[in-house]
Every structure is written in structure tokens, then in C-alpha cells.
Amino acid sequence: VRSQGPPLSSFGVLASRATSDPSRPRRQRYDIHFHDKKILLLEAGPKKVLEKLSETYSNRVSSISPGSATLLSSFGAWDHICNMRYRAFRRMQVWDACSEALIMFDKDNLDDMGYIVENDVIMHALTKQLEAVSDRVTVLYRSKAIRYTWPCPFPMADSSPWVHITLGDGSTFQTKLLIGADGHNSGVRQAAGIQNVSWNYDQSAVVATLHLSEATENNVAWQRFLPSGPIALLPLSDTLSSLVWSTSHEHAAQLVSMDEEKFVDAVNSAFWSDADHTDFIDTAGAMLQYAVGLLKPTKVSARQLPPSVARVDAKSRVLFPLGLGHAAEYVRPRVALIGDAAHRVHPLAGQGVNMGFGDISSLAHHLSTAAFNGKDLGSMSHLTGYETERQRHNTALLAATDLLKRLYSTSAAPLVLRRWEQIMAFASK
Amino acid sequence: MWGGGKLGSSGGWFLRVLGPGGRNTKAVRPLISSVYVKNQLSWILQIKPGVFNEYRTMWFKSYRTTFSCLNRIKSFRYRWARLYSTSQTTVDSGEVKTFLALAHKWWDEQGIYAPLHSMNDLRVPFIRDNLLKTIPNHQPGKPLFGMKILDVGCGGGLLTEPLGRLGASVIGIDPVDENIKTAQCHKSFDPVLDKRIEYRVCSLEEIVEETAETFDAVVASEVVEHVIDLETFLQCCCQVLKPSGSLFITTINKTQLSYALGIVFSEQIAAIVPKGTHTWEKFVSPETLESILESNGLSVQTVVGMLYNPFSGYWHWSENTSLNYAAHAVKSGVQEHPMSAEFAFKGEAEELQANACTNPAVHEELKK
């Protein structure tokens, strides 16, 4: 059935910021400047209704930074997450397999450094909030856009200046601003013809849910850089942790298919083994560490021992390929890209989703100011402001993450020493 | 007696040519009135010394800006000539021709009107924030809801549309037919704007009578440097405003700097502004503007400079008003202002004129 959808005035971000008006202490679910804007969300998947939280933890988790948590709480989603489950961590220990060089990250007053939340929990919290603002935001599940019609670059008399979208079922919509939040294989980005710099790492990530040998406080995130790639243990509860192990495609495939016992052994040995050490590096490292300790006797603090793993949740082992991607442009007239559609990053720094939340925060801020200035939301003048702000931030992070990944992908001694120096420099800041 | 009556009547005619309202402090009119008026209107002569003093003060103020004093004399002569014509329009037909050629280029944000598009970043918040002060509780998402605004010289609707989006009911007028066509077409795609904005091809004077005292705000952005008769224009602006309504003006100052940068650099060298858009002689200094506004019962609240950075394409507020500037004035809400004194002035003049007219009739009667 072909039908002309109702004209909508804008296709906007689903996450809006709270009003900063101090006379209104109650949190707004949406930004007041978007009050009379109409928003449509096209979701390819089905509606995820979580009647009851399952006892088994999901194997896909994200590390949510405090900034992202603030964004989520600004429109009430964080409250739902708190009512379900999440795990705060206060410390992060990162160390090198070859040299035992170590950084311990924590906040001085032992504030939470971040939160480990299952992706399903986040999605459910967001769905709940979407329902709460359903008078303002329309969500179409199981819908996919098959064709986009872009506006003319020059304003022409009879052609519509808006973006037209045709869905799989034939319905069409027109909008002033199209936001592409459709992942690293973004259809919006491809249809707009935006160049994407991307390459695949010759690595895959294996995720699993692990049971620890004994219950601990479990508020530390662990990451060890092996020559094959980093392995990370993220706390989920007192007895459970989530594994993210980036390694070569072959090794990843082996890990996923091997026995559960062998898998647990592999994980434990990855965290505990000294096999990659060489005497030279050990001695050199120890001497330099001592020297620096004399000059700056802080921060190279006591090494904690990571927990050991007892067993793995059945059927929780999954692998997915890794790559890097960065869109050359985040915006075009009436189009903006956010999240993985704009950038894709290695999980070693736990930054992927946080960069996406940062994009949302920035775009919402720019659109809110534009709306309060009576601007057409699809106008390039404020979209380029968003692009500049986020590209600067994301490019630096992407480059750093990529560099770290390459640096730690080798066990050659000189490079190991170099990265040890890097860690020491980092730690002394 | 009859002769006196005649002069009286011609004096009355003179006052009517001045246009409605507008007792002004400019020395021009009282000087001329001294030529026409005889003893019957001797009270006009009484105010002459005061007026001369004011003229001298104004002259000193404008001495700061070297060119403008010379031009004051020039424009004085020009206005003298103008007063003899009975034309009531402030629209300059030469200007109309210039804008006609560029009528379809309004909405290209990176085109020749790019500086005007980016000026919205300054002028929309300026108008919005000053109007919000007068609204006790504004609707979320539509801060200017309930306001009636007139955008004079709206062009393609660059400023009209943002004001409409903020919830106001806006009427945009422009003497160039093609501009209104472009504006009309552009707003037609947006059903919300289509309802809130109305466009008309006309000049301000043509709608003064039907729209007297109906607008909460009048916006004349980048317009006063294009009109012929600034006084009449501002008088009309005042007339269509409700009491305590706001008038917003953005324009270019008349200084050496504005000649060098605004005409020579912007038009002739860097082509930031199309050639021939501006005539330096018609630029208006804030002092001139302020004095005309004050004399028409509009109290100037803010005058602030605006600076355009041609490299970044963005405008910035500035304390320096020697190039572009924005002004906000408020019409007095109460009638015991010079405005009422002027009404009495006019009223008495008409009364006297009526007396002068009836006198000969009485005389005839008596003769009979």
C-alpha cells in the first residue's frame, strides 16, 4: 500500500537534554526548545520488551563513562538502569604482558570511574523513556528506509527543500533534518555519498560471561596487553565478570569453539602467565621503575592481582570482527551522522559508545540553541559547529586508540620498551 | 484679514505636508516655518531659539564624524527640495531596481546573502530576548507566541521565518514584488510557517492607516539605509506600534570607517556585498537615529555595535558602533509625552486655521 506519510517538521535526536532552568527542579523528559518539533525514529529491529530481567547476564556489555551517565540521567533513562542492574568500578589496572609495566587509574576521592552496563539493559531503559515521550517521538519498529531523496543544493522554485525518505512498505516521509544513527555500515552515510576512511583490524573480539573463583568486591576493571591483543575483564557483580578478548581471527575462532574448561584455562593463563617476559626487559624495567620511583614516588602504586576465573557461562561465547572507521564528514545539508555511523573504534579503550553519547550531547546542544534562535534545524551553520566540535575530539581519540593497538600488537623488545616509557609518562601526569 | 487667513491656511497646509505626527528637533522645519508663518502663529516663533540651540548641539555631535556634518547640510537642502513635492513614499526606486536583480538568490545560505543569513545569529536573539522581557510566561518551544510583528523590508524572508518559528505572527512587507514571491514560495513548504507568516508587496506608508497601533514589534533590519525619507519612515514605524511596543533597527553607521570597509572593501574589493547595494550618503549614525526616534516618542533602550568577520563568516557583538549596529527603542505607553504636546500643537493650528476660515465668512455675513 502506497501512502504519503504526514509531513513531519523534523527527524531529531531521541535523546534530549534536561532544561537548565533552576526554577524547575523536576527533570524534564525532553528539551523545551524541541517542544513543538515532531520526531520520528526508524528502528530496523523489533521492539525489545523486557518483562523480567533474566538472571543470566548478557555477554554484550558497555563501559559507560560518568559523562555518558550524566547524559542518560538528564532524560530519566539512568533511573531505569539503576532499577535494573549495573556495576560501578573505581579502579582500572592496565598492564603489559611483556614487561609488567603497569598503570593504575583511579579517581582521587575514589569516585566511580565508570559503569559496566549490559547493552540490553541500556536498550530497555531507552525504550521505556521513549514510551514516556511518545506524544513527541514516534517510533516505527521493523522499518527500514530504502531510498533517500536529497534536497537540491540550490533553492529551486518547485522542488521541496527537505529530505524525503521512502520505507520498505512504501510509505514516505519528509523531514528537515535526517540523523543517521545506523551503525558502522550506515545506510544514511552511504546514500549521502560521504567518504568513509576504514580498515579492518586483523582481529576479532571474543566476549563471554565468566564466573570468578571467589566472590570479591570486584570494582576494578582489568586489562592486559598481550602480544596478540588486549584481554579485559569487566566487573558485572561480586561473582561475575565480562570478558572482552581481542585477538587474531584464528585464535578467536579457536577460543569460541574449544571446551569450556580449556577456555577458562586460556583466560587464566592470559592474565597470569609470564611467558612473554624476557630477562633483559624485566631487569631494565625494574631499574627504571626504581629510578622513577625515587623522583616521583606516587602513582606507580601497588599492583593488584586480577581475579581468577572458575567457569564460563554456557553459550555466552561470541566473536565479532574489529575495525576502524571514520567518516570524512559528519554533516551534509539536512543530514548529520552520530555514533558508529560516524566513527568506529577498537574496544581496547572502552570508548566506542561513549564517543557516541558525546556526539548526542553535542548535537542536542547545537540543535537546541538553533531551535531557540528560530533556525531551520537542517541548516548547515549549526551542523558544522557540531561537526567541528566532535571531529576534533573523536579524531584524537581514534588516532590514540589505533596507535595503542598497533604498539601493543608486537612483542619486539625495543617497541615494548617504548610503550613502557609511554605508560610511565602517562602515569606520571 | 483674509490675507492673514490665507497665510494661516498655508501654514496649516505646511503642517499637514509634514505628515502625521512628528514634532521634530531638526532645525529644518522651524526655519522654514519662520518664512511662512506670520504673527498669527507667533507661538511657533517662540520656540525657535530653543530649536536653534538644539540644532547647534546636534551639529557638534555630528562634528565628530567628519563627513556627516557636510552631508547634514547636503541632506538639509535635499529635504528642502523634497518638502515641495507631495510624494509620501520612502521607497527609493533606484534601490528597488538593485534588489530586483538579486531576488532569487535570497535562500542560498552560501551565496551572496550569506552575511545576512549569519546575521540572524545576532539579530534573532536580540529581538527575541528584548521581547521576552515583556512576556511574563512564555510557552515552551514558542517563546514569541502571541506577538504580532511587522518585518519592514523583509526581502526574501530571511528574518521573518525565524521569528515565525519562534511562535510570533509575522507580517513581512517589501516593495519588491520578486522578493515577496521568493519569500512566499519558500515558506509554503513548511505548513507551520505558512500559517504564521503573511507577506505583502507594499511600502510601509501604504499600510500605516489600516495597521495603526496593531504591532507588538516592528523590525527594520538593514532597511533604514535604503529609504529616502528617514523621518517619515520612522514616524510610520511608530504609528503602527502599540503603546510600549518595540522597534528594532539594524543598520550601518556613517563614518569614514564604514565608507572604507562598508563600501570600498565590502563592495568593490572583496565583493562581500553586491556592488551598488549601499550608498554611503544614506548611512545613518546612531546619534541621528536616536534623535529622530526620541523626537517621535520612541525611547532608545539599547544601541550596540555588530562586527562581521569576512573570514569566518560570523558576526559578533561589539562596543564599537562605527560600522554596523543594532538599536532597540520602545514606544511610550503613556500619552503625556512630547507626542501629546505636538497633537495640541497641530490641534491648535487647525483650530486657528478653522477660525481663519470662518472669519471671512463671518465678515461676509456681517457685511450683509
CB contact under 8 A, B143 and A372: yes
Residue that the C-alpha cell 510601509 belongs to? B204
- Chain centroid to Cα A114, Å, comes to 12
For range B186-199, the mean pLDDT = 92
Min Cα distance B288 → chain A (Å) is 30
pLDDT of res. A1: 30
pLDDT of res. B92: 82
pLDDT of res. B367: 53
- 3-state SS, one letter per residue, for chain A: CCCECCCCCCCCCCCCCCCCCCCCCCCCCCCHHHCCCCEEEECCCCCCCCCCCCCCCCCCEEEECHHHHHHHHHCCHHHHHHHCCCEEECEEEEEECCCCCEEEEECCCCCCCEEEEEHHHHHHHHHHHHHHCCCCEEEECCCCEEEEECCCCCCCCCCCCCEEEEECCCCEEEECCEEECCCCCCHHHHHHCCCEEEEEEEEEEEEEEEEECCCCCCCEEEEEEECCEEEEEEECCCCEEEEEEEEEHHHHHHHHHCCHHHHHHHHHHHHHCCCCCCHHHHHHHHHHHHHHHHHCCCCCCCCCCCCCEEEECCCCCEEEEEEEEEECCCEECCEEECHHHCEECCHHHCCHHHHHHHHHHHHHHHHHHHHHCCCCCCCHHHHHHHHHHHHHHHHHHHHHHHHHHHHCCCCCHHHHHHHHHHHHHHHCC
Q: Which of B105, B123, B190, B197 to mutate to test the interface with A (most CBs of A within 10 A)?
A: B190
CA–CA distance from A185 to each of A147, A181, A191, A256 (Å)?
16, 10, 11, 25
| Helix axes B338-367 and B2-17, enclosed angle (nearest 10) | 150
CB contact under 8 A, A375 and B118: no
CB contact under 8 A, A373 and B143: no
Whole-angstrom distance, CA of residue A137 vs CA of residue A15: 10
Which chain A positions have a beta carbon within 8 Å of B309's beta carbon?
A: none
DSSP secondary-structure letter at B1? -
Which chain A positions have a beta carbon within 8 Å of B166's beta carbon?
A: 372, 374
Whole-angstrom distance, CA of residue B288 vs CA of residue B210: 29
CB contact under 8 A, A7 and B191: yes
Model confidence at B6: pLDDT above 50: no
pLDDT beneath 70: ranges in chain A: 1-29, 99-101, 103, 106-110, 155-157, 275-302, 410-429
φ, ψ dihedrals at A210, nearest 5°: -115, 145
pLDDT of res. A249: 93
pLDDT tens for each residue of B275-298: 888 888 889 999 999 999 999 999
pLDDT tens for each residue of A3-18: 333 333 333 322 222 2
pLDDT tens for each residue of B65-76: 444 444 454 444
Min Cα distance B219 → chain A (Å) is 16
CA atoms within 13 A on the CB side of A185: 2
Which chain A positions have a beta carbon within 8 Å of B161's beta carbon?
A: 374, 376
Q: Taking all residues of chain B, what is their mean pLDDT, rounded to a whole number?
A: 75
What cell numbers appear for A227 in the block? Answer: 602480544
Model confidence at B88: pLDDT above 80: no
pLDDT tens for each residue of B327-341: 999 998 765 444 444
Q: Which residue of A has its CA nearest to B193?
A: A9
User: How buried is residue A402: exposed, middle or buried, by Cβ count under 10 Å (0-12/13-18/19+)?
Assistant: middle
- Count residue pairs from A and B with Cβ separation < 8 A: 59
Q: Which residue of A has its CA nearest to B162?
A: A374
Which chain A positions have a beta carbon within 8 Å of B189's beta carbon?
A: 160-162
pLDDT tens for each residue of B105-147: 888 888 889 999 999 999 999 999 999 998 888 888 889 999 9
Domains (ranges, CATH) in chain A?
Answer: 34-428 (3.50.50.60)
Whole-angstrom distance, CA of residue A391 vs CA of residue A380: 16
Q: Answer yes or no: are the C-beta atoms of A178 and A163 closer than 8 Å.
A: yes
Range of lowest pLDDT (B156-160, B171-175, B253-257): B253-257
Whole-angstrom distance, CA of residue A15 vs CA of residue B165: 22
Q: Which among A157, A162, A375 has CB closest to B162? A: A375
Min Cα distance B54 → chain A (Å) is 41
Stronger pLDDT, B197 or B346, i.e. the higher one: B197
pLDDT of res. A415: 64
Q: Answer yes or no: are the C-beta atoms of A95 and A225 closer than 8 Å.
A: yes
Q: Is B197 helix (H, G, I), strand (E, B) or coil?
A: strand
